[in-house]
Amino acid sequence: MSDATKAVLEGGPDDLPERIVFVLTPGLDIKVALRGGYEHFRATTRQQATSQGLSPVYEWWERTELPG
């Protein structure tokens, strides 16, 4: 198993496939591929209780489209 931790994604599209994701480097932005683009999330100073303990919260801040 890796040293990944779980993070909670807040905001962004309602149809994100997951709201709790693994993150390898806490604190760095997370990008999630969705519908021909990427949803970008930034770390906050907040944490949220999950079934596996406290997890950092990342807030949605932008979407980028893939060319084509």
- pLDDT the model gives residue 36: 94
Taking Cα atoms as reference points, which of 2, 10, 3 lies closest to residue 47? 10
Using DSSP's 3-state secondary structure scheme, residue 57 falls into: strand
Mean pLDDT, rounded, of the chain: 91
Taking Cα atoms as reference points, which of 28, 6, 29 lies closest to residue 19? 6
In tens, the pLDDT along 5-49 reads 899 999 999 999 999 999 988 889 999 999 999 999 999 999 999
Q: How confident is the model at residue 1 (pLDDT cuts 50, 70, 90)?
A: very low
Instruction: Kindly tell me if the per-residue pLDDT of 4 is higher than 70.
Output: no
Taking Cα atoms as reference points, which of 60, 63, 68 lies closest to residue 8? 60
